[in-house]
Amino acid sequence: MQRIRWGRVPVRLGGVSLALLMLVRGGHAQGFTTQDPVIHRIWVIGMDSSHVSDLAQVLDDSIGPRPSGSPAFHSAIDWLLAQYAQWGIQAHTEQYGTWRSWRRGITHIDLLSPRVRTLEGTMLAWSPGTRGRDLEAGVMILPDVADSNAFVRWLPNVRGKFVLASMAQPTCRPDDDWQAFATPASLARMRALRDSLAANWAGRIASTGYSLLRDRPLVIEEGTGSLGQRLEAAGAAGMLVNWWSGGWGTDRVYVSHNTIAPAIDLSCEDYGLVYRLAEHGQNPLVRLRADGEVGPDVPVFNTIAEIEGTELPTEYVVLSAHLDSFDAGSGATDNGTGTVMVMEAMRILRQVYPHPRRTIIAGHWGAEEQGLVGSMAYAADHPEVVNGLQALFNQDNGTGRVDHAEASALLDAGEHWARWLARVPEALSKRISLDIPGNPLRGGSDNSAFACHGAPAFSLGGVDWEYRPYTWHTNRDTYDKIVLDDLRSNATLLATLAYLASEDPERVPRTRREVMPLDRTGAPRTWMQCSPPIRSSEADDAAARP
């Protein structure tokens, strides 16, 4: 794999000769490489009359986070349909399955003893609440037992107590703070202590007889139950957890499979406080009021908008982003920004390019966070779209302006990218680098649901804006983290790419890369195989168990 910047030069990568017909950066001091009036009009509307701020504000502030099966997810669908209707774009929903329903209410948690402090905490998604009452209980730490038999003997101790079920961090300062200010010896001691605590906690979990599933503190499965469910069955009042992201004041807040006892994420700082009090025998007492309601399985949907093609209506350009989100923030950069980017691109195209050569589809997928559920189901249900796909452009890595893409290991896709980017306004294209031929996709986001079929499905990657430590699946993923200038330019870029891919005189070939780079284990990478879509939360639970 090689990353290149554009010039009018032939490039040979992986044994494939590509005439990259691009203008040398700096050689032409202008904003456009074409006199195409459609591209010019896309630029004017996208950059001077943008709707991204208003759209994102409604989605993130008013509707809020959108877990699959929640009332907010369905409210977001209704809003999407209304917006597309207002713009004169046909849109509809397609049910792909069912998912457990859940409603979040307030969370309020206080430390009452040995001192009073209001704690920063929130329920995990799909957690039960406290049923309209205050729940007061002492706290105990998940024990370090010899084996699962010892764990079973210990379980009666949890009755009526909150159980601390995560490792306590030795520091909630980010690593870059330590690197900037600590002495080398102090930094080394901190890292050694953290590694030691992490190893101890992993052993502590393993000794219970459960194994950690994915990256979620309470989704720890054995057979048909989770560690959280085992603790609540033994009479635990609730579970307190923390999954620190590594950034100031930021946690990743995932899901619970509990049905009786509430599961609460405490901030890194407050979790550490309560843990140390319990560890030193200082008898912390906690009061919790949490309003949450787990309901029956409900239908869940993808939302599809479409501008029908005129010359090649059975060939497709798909603009792709997932609508669902995790729940602790607002789902602003994962993936409200992708959702708004797709909506705004469709709004622009409806005005500028209402009769495209190929059909243009906006795919707003459900349950991406549960494993690409909605997009995998759509690809399985619509082989005509997969087979007729000219290009899919997916965005799902935060708010940053697009600065890279890859040919997704399709050997001849780079030539098409070159033609498209040659005509994109330089203000948008000059930052973009392209990996040719790139690597086979291995999951990660919804473009993989189409790429596993061999279709040309591409990811538009953006500049980082510290996405991983601060907004990816965190309690800080809120509207204020959106960089509106970047979002505006991304929507304009997406509309331009959709137009160019639709008008391209040739289909994007599907010849796959055969000579593979090595993965982290030293083995050659392989092509992702399409899995049968999971269409219910019950099936998802079963598939996730060891």
Helical H segments across 291-436, by residue range = 337-352, 373-381, 383-387, 413-423, 426-429
Q: Over the stretch 102-140, which tens digit does the pLDDT of each residue have?
A: 999 999 999 999 999 999 999 999 999 999 999 999 999
Q: Using an 8 Å Cβ cutoff, are 392 and 345 in contact? A: no
Q: Where are the domains of the chain?
A: 9-100+298-515+523-542, 115-283
Tokens of 160: 């009526």
For tokens 């699959």, what's the residue?
Answer: 68
Which segment, 151-165, 429-443, 526-540, is predicted with the most confidence on average? Answer: 151-165
Question: When comparing pLDDT for 521 and 105, which is higher?
Answer: 105
The b-or-e profile of 58-87 (16+ CB within 10 A means b, else e) is: ebbeebbbbbbbbbbbbebbebbbebbeeb
CA 140 to chain centre: 33
Q: What is the pTM of this model?
A: 0.91
- Identify the CATH number of the domain defined by range 9-100+298-515+523-542: 3.40.630.10
**C-alpha to C-alpha distance for 271 and 290, rounded to whole angstroms:** 17
Q: Over the stretch 162-218, which tens digit does the pLDDT of each residue have?
A: 999 999 999 999 999 999 999 999 999 999 999 999 999 999 998 998 865 444 444
pLDDT above 80: residue 225: no
The burial of 4, by beta-carbon neighbours within 10 Å (0-12 exposed, 13-18 middle, 19 or more buried), is given as: middle
Q: Which of 496, 355, 356, 351 is nearest to 423 (CA)?
A: 496
Beta strand 121-123 with 263-266: parallel, antiparallel or unpaired?
antiparallel
User: Coil, strand or helix: which one is 348?
Assistant: helix
Question: When comparing pLDDT for 24 and 415, which is higher?
Answer: 415
| CA count, 13 A, side-chain hemisphere, 327 | 28
Quickly state the pLDDT bin for 2 (edges 50, 70, 90): very low
Distances (CA, A) of 235 to 137, 153, 261, 337: 12, 14, 8, 42
Fold equal for 9-100+298-515+523-542 and 115-283? no
Look at residue 39 in the predicted model and tell me its pLDDT: 97
CATH topology of domain 115-283: Glucose Oxidase; domain 1 (3.50.30)
**C-alpha to C-alpha distance for 314 and 490, rounded to whole angstroms:** 27
Q: Span 445-452, mean pLDDT?
A: 96
